Amino acid sequence: MSEADWPWPDAPEPLPSPVVDNHCHLDHRIKGGLLIDVEDALDRAAAVNVDRIVQVGCDLEGSRWAVETARQHEAIVAAVALHPNEAPLLEQAGTLDAALAEIEALAQDPTVRAVGETGLDYFRTGVDGRAAQHRSFRAHIDVARRHDRTLVIHDRDAHDDVLAILDDQGVPERTVMHCFSGDADVARRCLDRGAYLSFSGTVTFKNAEPLREALAVTPTDRILVETDAPFLTPTPHRGRPNASFLVPYTVRFMAEFLGRSVDDLCRAIDENTDRAFGGSWPRHTPAV
């Protein structure tokens, strides 16, 4: 498929200061089965001042790919994990322990900044799969703590249990609530545990008032931004594949909602991301 066939919208106006897309899935195919070209994705993003990316693995194949891609592109760092919906399938196959052992081995690669996305998902996995999700989540928390990696949490319809397991297992030094989906009360409970809250394009959706209330109570030094690309495309392009170069829509929406200048929010997000992921890493410069 040629570039002319790509379903991307026009690029938004560049942000005044750089930010990081702290949660992206460049390995996921988009409309028409198209596989993303990583260098092109980096160029498009950097052209609008989104000049660094955290590539997130959701299974063994994706985690291996994240590490290999981060080795090849210095503006990308990796996160490795088994998605909570993977855990019951692996448990049923008798391979969960082996998969967790490989995730721990991958987590020790120097390109890896985070263990995630892990957590709990009660939307897609029924009651019978919860025990496996809990066991997998606990194991990922342990890996993050022992290897000084950021914990990236997927929490869907499971707020109370996510926080209970975190409390029981011990909250890692750096924790990110990926694609934060709770209300203001859940936000406060996460913040009380030292977590960073990462907001995606969902904060721009018309029906996301509870999420915007959560954003309103989040201190500026705990706010992150992400795409979860190719999913959760922000307004005005909801329904089309998402990409890191669309982050400016989300950042500008958040700045307007919070009554902040876009530049100030960008600078805060960039600094927050460095702290959340254990330090800075090189920025990408678009090809001329």
Q: Confirm whether residue 154 is marked as ligand binding.
A: yes
121 annotated to bind ligand: no
CA-closest candidate to residue 200, choices 142, 154, 161: 154
176 Cβ contact list (under 8 Å, min separation 6)? 22, 114, 116, 150, 151, 152, 153, 195, 196, 198, 224, 276, 277
Residue in the structure block whose two tokens are 């590490």: 67
CA 41 to chain CA mean position, Å: 16
Map residue 218 onto helix, strand or coil.
coil
Is the link from the previous residue into 236 a cis peptide, with omega within 30 of 0? Answer: yes
Annotated binding residue 23: yes
Q: Known binder of ligand: residue 173?
A: no
Give the SS3 label for residue 210: helix
Helices (H) then strands (E): counts for the chain? 10, 8
Give strand pairing partners of 121.
Answer: 156
Whether residue 140 is annotated as binding a ligand: the answer is no
Residues of the binding site: 23, 25, 117, 154, 178, 228
> Residue positions in the annotated binding site for a divalent metal cation?
23, 25, 117, 154, 178, 228
